[in-house]
Chains A and B, each alone.
Chain A
Amino acid sequence: MRAIRITPPFLAACAAALLSACVAAPLNTEISPLNDARTWIAKAKAAGAEQCAPALQAEAVGQLYAAAHEYAEGNVHPDEQTETAAAATTAAKKAYAKCTNHPQVMRLTGVYFDTNSAHLKSASEATLNHAIKVLKANKKSDVEIAAYTDSRGSSSYNLKLSKMRADAVRDYLRNHNIAANRLTAKGYGESHPIASNASAAGRSKNRRVELHLK
């Protein structure tokens, strides 16, 4: 059997080998499914979240690592991959909102009313039930329900209609165990359009309901 010569390079190799065995490889967060979470964490950090919202920012980063771990495992827990990534994004958005005083906006795509009415169509239930889940997961957030119309009709009519629609959504949430004292409803009428009112597609985008989490 050949004797091993203990030379300085051998010592260095042993030390390096032991060091690498002790220090785990870092989790890879630089993967595309985590782009959104990373982007929001960076935005929150740039807004000073490590000082003004340290717990939320830490939650975001912790969830990012957890998500990276879930993705590194492959498809062992596919639900947890998306859940942890979404949790990281949500926490970072909240940290950013807290540090910038901007409310976190959740657009309720899929809430429909009868024409010229505040009567919610049954097709809205899936979207509203998802919103309820989000609000139950964010118990400390107060929420403004903001409704908007397109520009057809008079501005005073649109203001009134949007307020009635915001009230209808508030009532739905309240009837599904979201505390009334967390909810305020506000109609903005045709103000704050997000698309051109010159086209049907644009007007459809402008008719919307948003939750502003504060």
Chain B
Amino acid sequence: MNIKLGLLAAALLFSLPVSAANWGASIDDRADALSQKLHNSHDYHAYLAINLANKAAEEKDQHDTEVAKRFMQMAEQEAAKVGSAK
């Protein structure tokens, strides 16, 4: 039984998207971290990531938390592509 529970926990853990590593951090913290990391990059994906992170922060300020999370997730997915613009 313990093995099965362990498997369940492992399956759930591995199913998490990369952005879930930021669970617990606020939208503002995540947006700030992303902006600081990318502010010197002139890559298309970096600009888009910062743009989406700013929109996430705006939505969060308007108390639309679900939308803010969605934009933040998109921002982090875009940030992961930095350097890959073709």
Contact = CB atoms under 8 A, between A and B. Distances in A.
Indicate, yes or no, whether A interacts with B. yes
A73 to B, nearest CB: 9
A27 B66 CA distance: 13
Given A6-B5, A24-B73, A51-B85, A62 B20 contact: no
Q: Please classify the interface of chain A as helix (H, G, I), strand (E, B), loop, or mixed, using the class held by over half of its residues.
A: helix
13 contacts: A14-B8, A14-B12, A18-B15, A18-B16, A22-B15, A22-B20, A24-B66, A24-B73, A49-B44, A54-B47, A58-B51, A62-B52, A65-B74
B44 A58 contact: yes
A179 interface: no
Interface of A: 6, 11-12, 14-16, 18-19, 22-24, 27, 49-51, 54-55, 57-59, 61-62, 65-66, 69
Interface residues of B, number: 33
B7 interface: yes
A148 B9 CA distance: 72
Given A6-B4, A24-B73, A59-B51, 17 more contacts: A12-B11, A14-B12, A15-B12, A15-B14, A15-B15, A18-B16, A22-B16, A22-B17, A24-B66, A49-B44, A50-B86, A55-B47, A57-B47, A58-B48, A65-B52, A65-B74, A69-B71
Contacts of A22: 15-17, 19-20
Contacts of A55: 42, 47
A50 B7 contact: no
A50 B74 contact: no
Given A24-B69, A24-B70, A54-B42, A14 B11 contact: yes
Contacts of A66: 55
A52 B73 CA distance: 26
Contacts, number: 72
Given A14-B12, A15-B14, A62 B51 contact: yes
B44 A15 contact: no
Contacts of B73: 23-24
Interface of B: 1, 4-5, 7-8, 11-12, 14-17, 19-20, 42-48, 50-52, 55, 66-67, 69-71, 73-74, 85-86
B17 A57 contact: no
